[in-house]
Amino acid sequence: MYPYIYSLSTVGIIKHYIHDYHFHNKRTDIIGPNGVGKSVLADLLQLIFIFDPNLIRFGTDGVNKEKREIRTLPYKSRYAYAFINIEAKQGLFLTLGVQINSQHGKVLTPFLITREADFEQRSDDVFFTKEKLLYATDFIVENVITGLDELSDHISENFELKLNIFRTKEEINRYYKALYQKEILPLDLSQDKSLRAYAKVIQSFSKVKTLNLGGENVSKNLKEFLFEETDSDIKNQFESNKNKFEKFLDDYRQLDEDISILSEKQKYLQESTALFKEYQEKNRRYLGATVNVLGQTAKHLANQIRQLEIDDQKEQKRKDIKHNRLLLIANAKGIIDKTLHKIKDQEEQLESSRNLMNELNDVNEQLDVLQAFELPPLTEGWSNFVIEQEDTIPSVSEVCRDIKHKMPFFSRYESMEHLLYQRTSQQESLEALKNEVVEKKKTVNKLLELLAGKNDSSVISWFLKQGKNLSAEQIQAILHFAVLPVSQPDEDTGNRQYLDMDSFIDDFEFIPSKKGGWLKLGALREYVPFTEDAVLIKNADATDVSIGLLRKRLESDLSILESKLEAIRCVQDGGEIDKELVPENIDVQIIESTVVKAIHKALFYIKKMPAIERGLMGKCNSLQQKIISLKQELDVSGATMEDIRQQLVKKREKWNNRNNLCGKTEVQYKADVKTAELALLQISKDMQDTTEKLSENRSDLENYIRVYANLFEEEPQITEGACDDLQHLSSDYKNAQEAYKRHYITTSAHFQETKDGKNADVQMEITSLSLSFAVLERALLGNRVKATDDIVEALKEANASRSSMADGVSDEMLKVFNLTVTRYDLYKSQIQRINSFFVDRKISGHFYFKVDFEENKVISIEHVKDIAVEMRIALMKGALGVTESIVSFIENSFNNKLNLKTRIPFEDLLNPKTYFELSARLTDEFGVEVPGSTGETYSAIALLGIARLSLSQKEQRKGLRFLILEELGSLDNTNFNTFPAIAEEFQYQIITMAPHSFNIGFSDHWYAHHLIKGISDKNINYFPSSSFFKTPLGNESLSIYLKRQRNELAGAKSFE
């Protein structure tokens, strides 16, 4: 029995969070008390096949309606999944499922898992074997319930299967068609009719509310379940024909009114014709005279243009003569400019000669200074000194000055080495002196700090506190080491010595000298100079006055040291020497480094002196040659430079006079050319104006000729001599035009088609004053009536056309009513086929089931046939003046014929389901109706669903067939036993939803899953569920049973 549902798995579904339910190929029981989600499984089986929210109906409503919405099925997750593994053929499987989204919008997305990506191929390659079956935990990706795209990658990578996703209606239809072709589905659900039928059958199996075989809505419920047709096509066809018919009625009423209006139009149009002819004749005379005047004016303008062309040629010739003379003057000015430039060059050369003479005098003066300067004698040390080349050599006077300033150094020092040695020595002496003063200053400052009591760990502090009965030499030593600490200092204090006072007193050994003495410090001897300050602290009991005097003495010494340090810095910076503070053997002039550079430069100049003299001599000779050459180039005789300059001045004045004369002549000729150009410009303007006038005249002439020819179909004549009086002709023409215009406007305003500017063509004629009679006639009569004489004949043709249209409309209306009758007969035939299905099929082995088709007792389908015939007769008799609508006409006809108190809406009259009622009943073998038990009613529902599905198929095909039997708690074993028999006969899987299991049936074994409510979370059932392989005699754990089956199968294959 293939295909069949092998298992159902849920992922993230409320109650069934992560669950797998194996299905028996004949019967599977879902067992549990209320609230454990039995009906949720029934809903999921519906959602796996039906994705249109408009077709989905849940079998049982919860306490809170919101909980029964599709989007509430996912629990604590955005996504949830439900899928079934289907064994399509023995050992070959595929997986159908649906993703449920908890967010608003698109909540259902179907998917299909196959071995190959091309799920539409005809071969079995899309199926996979049992080893590849997927279950709920396989849909968890890293402990997360993911979206379809991530899930697809996960399944592909880990299980080598393909997850196909269907999001659009087109993709879902492909999915349905592929399942139908592979005989997974018994119906092609890509067809809307089949999809609705399948949805209702599944819902009927789960005891959906829409199918209730009892109560006042039984007829409505049965109609909705058994018939997919909405009958909207009948109403749509009527609406289309109704509009045509009602338009025809309106046109017919309008026709009578049009006859009288056309007669009135004929009168107005005839009057317009007479006025139009008079207006045309006067217009012809006026246009002919206008053409004659325009023609003569064109000839006059053409003569003016020819005369202007002659004047233009004369003036152009006069301009060309003056222009040629200007060219000759320009050539002459070029010669004059060239000559004046030459004179200017000669004057510049003369000026250059003057400059050269001045430069020559300057060179001679430098030679005189150089020859008069006496170079200092240089010792051998200075003569042999190698010096660097200077970049530039200044003037001779500057060279001599620099040498003279540096002469004392050449006599004071034997050589540059001697000078540099002296400079370095005195720099070192000054630096040593400065360091000595700085150290003394530090010592004095330190001693002042100690005397102020700022440090009690120094030698002087120790002495002032403890140094009693010390000798004069020891006191001198104490002052010498006053600032040293008396204990070992830290290494980071900067002190490198300290004085151990006990050793110092005990081991004191001093050898006096003239101004001090030598103190023994172990193997070291240190000189201690005597100071008068020792007298002030000759003993440790010295008074504050003595210490104060010592401090003043020290502060005085500090001031002297500051002055001496400033004097040293001044000398190092090249300032004057203070002989009282700095030794006298310091040469201040060599301290600065610039002095050394200056001495270098002076030595370079001394050695370069012969070369400088040679250079000046050469330059003197060169300047003399240039002066001689420039005099020759001037080509002007003269004894002196002044004579030459006077000659050049006279020559320049002569050529300037010639240039002025050319300029005056040029101005006059340019004025003549300008006058000629203005004359030519005026002629050109007159030519342009006249040409434009002629062009406008000819354009007007052509327009009037064209208008004349178009109006009167002949060419106008242009004559010589006097023209007709245009003013008089224009007055006659305008009067006739005004009369025609008034009547034209009156006629236009009189009729509905043209009044108030409704007709754009007529309004344009009035606005532009064209006033075409043909446009007015066409606007009033339309395209069908071309002339006023055709009005009567046109009306006769219209009447005949409307009569023919009435026949056509009546035929269309008959088709609409015939469609209602045909559909009625189809429904009746369908009920007969369903009843045929139940022949010889007993419910509970005793009762027969039948659906009764009863005609409406108030309104019969025969009345529809009659009213259609009556309407046709009314139309054919020409009873078309009725003012009521077609809907009212038909509704009134029914009411009058049947004497109804309440008007039946027209939509109900068109609906074939109005004319019959359906009911269902159980009877015994004698045809007596019996109430039936709950189980028998359930059996009837199941059989009706099976019949419905069978009749929806065009042919018997394989496909999934299953019965969902929900809410079976009130059934006993006897009532339940009817369902296995039905399933066995029609090859259906049974899926029951009940509080307990029924240990009877056609099968000797089945599966049962006991749902147990969770403890930690009441919305997640215990997992895994308590599932059993059941027989009438006992139970076995389903997992153990399935494992044993796999082992037996493997053993059988191994044995083979």
Residue 455 reports pLDDT greater than 80: no
Average pLDDT rounded to a whole number, residues 360-379: 78
Helix (H) or strand (E) holding 1037: strand 1034-1037
Task: Tell whether 895 and 969 lie within a shared domain.
Answer: no
- Please indicate, yes or no, whether residues 853 and 997 belong to a single structural domain of this protein: no
**Spatial CA neighbour of 261 closest among 642, 753, 811, 617:** 753
Kindly state whether residues 934 and 859 are assigned to the same domain: yes
**pLDDT tens per residue across span 380-426:** 778 777 777 766 778 787 888 877 777 787 777 777 778 888 778 87
pLDDT tens per residue, range 213-255: 667 778 887 887 777 666 777 777 777 777 766 776 666 556 6
Instruction: Supply angle C-alpha 821, 826, 827, rounded to 5.
Output: 100
Confidence of residue 15 (pLDDT cuts 50, 70, 90): very high
Cβ–Cβ < 8 Å for 846, 278: no
DSSP codes of every residue in 692-741 = HHHHHHHHHHHHHHHHHHHHHSSPPP--SSPPP-HHHHHHHHHHHHHHHH
Instruction: Give one word for 522, left, alpha or beta, with left for phi > 0 and alpha for psi -120 to 50.
Output: left
In a domain, 449, yes or no: yes
Query: Tell me, what's the pLDDT at 880?
Result: 46
In angstroms, the CA 160 to CA 134 distance is 11
- Whether residues 808 and 754 share a domain: the answer is no
900 and 844 within one domain: yes
Q: Residue 733: name the closest of 288, 381, 324, 402 by CA.
A: 288
**pLDDT tens per residue, range 695-729:** 988 898 888 888 888 877 788 877 776 677 788 88
Same-domain status, 145 and 120: yes
Please identify, among 929, 951, 973, the residue that sits at the C-terminal boundary of a domain: 951
> What is the length of the chain?
1056
pLDDT at 534: 73
Residue 750 domain boundaries: 726-782
- Give 905's pLDDT tier (boundaries 50, 70, 90): confident
653 within some domain: no
Residue 887, in any domain of the structure: yes
Residues 159 and 112 in one domain: yes
Angstrom distance (rounded) from CA 747 to CA 744: 5
Q: Is the pLDDT of residue 609 over 90?
A: no
Q: Is 907 found in the same domain as 979?
A: no
Question: Looking at the DSSP assignment, which residues form a beta bridge with residue 991?
Answer: 28, 964
Q: Listing from the earlier edge strand, what are the strands of the sheet with 989-994?
A: 962-966, 989-994, 27-31, 1006-1010, 1026-1031, 1034-1037
Contact assessment for residue 624 and residue 360, using Cβ atoms and an 8 Å cutoff: yes
d(CA 834, CA 839): 9
Name residues whose C-beta falls within 8 Å of residue 353's C-beta, 6 or more positions apart in sequence: 627, 630, 631, 634, 641
Domain boundary among 782, 808, 827: 782
Q: Which of these three, 913, 931, 951, is where a domain ends?
A: 951
Pick from 1054, 844, 799, 820: nearest CA to 942:
844
pLDDT at 210 over 50: no
Averaged pLDDT score across all residues of the chain: 80
| Whether residue 132 sits in one domain with residue 151 | yes
Instruction: Let me know if residue 621 belongs to a domain.
Output: no
Residue 428 maps to a domain: yes
Q: For 749-776, how does the pLDDT look when each residue is reduced to its tens digit (9 = 90+)?
A: 888 888 888 888 888 888 887 778 778 8
CATH number of 1020's domain: 3.40.50.300
Task: Report if residue 88 sits inside a domain.
Answer: yes
What's the confidence (pLDDT) of residue 552? 80
Of 653, 559, 648, 576, whose CA–CA distance to 347 is shortest? 648
Please provide residue 90's backbone torsions phi and psi, each rounded to the nearest 5 degrees. Answer: -60, 120
The per-residue pLDDT for range 968-1020, each reduced to its tens digit, is 655 666 667 667 777 777 788 889 888 887 776 656 789 999 999 988 899 99
Q: Mean pLDDT, to the nearest integer, of 873-877? A: 58
Does residue 802 contact residue 252 with C-beta atoms inside 8 Å? yes
Find the angle CA(373)-CA(374)-CA(376) to the nearest 5 degrees.
Answer: 135
Q: Are residues 564 and 426 in the same domain?
A: yes
Question: Which of 169-178, 207-216, 921-930 bottoms out in mean pLDDT, i.e. has the lowest?
Answer: 207-216
pLDDT at 175: 94
Question: What is residue 205's predicted lDDT score, i.e. its pLDDT?
Answer: 64
Q: Is residue 973 part of a domain?
A: yes
pLDDT in the model for residue 479: 79
Asked whether residue 803 falls in the same domain as residue 903, the answer is yes
Q: Are strands 1006-1010 and 27-31 parallel, antiparallel or unpaired?
A: parallel
Residue 575 within any structural domain of the chain:
yes
Q: How many domains does the chain have?
A: 4
Dihedral pair phi/psi, residue 350, rounded to 5° = -60, -40
Give Cα 846 distance to the centre of its chain.
75
Residue 341: both structure tokens together: 């430039």
Residue 822 has pLDDT above 90, yes or no: no
Examine the domain organization and report whether 94 and 50 are in the same domain: yes
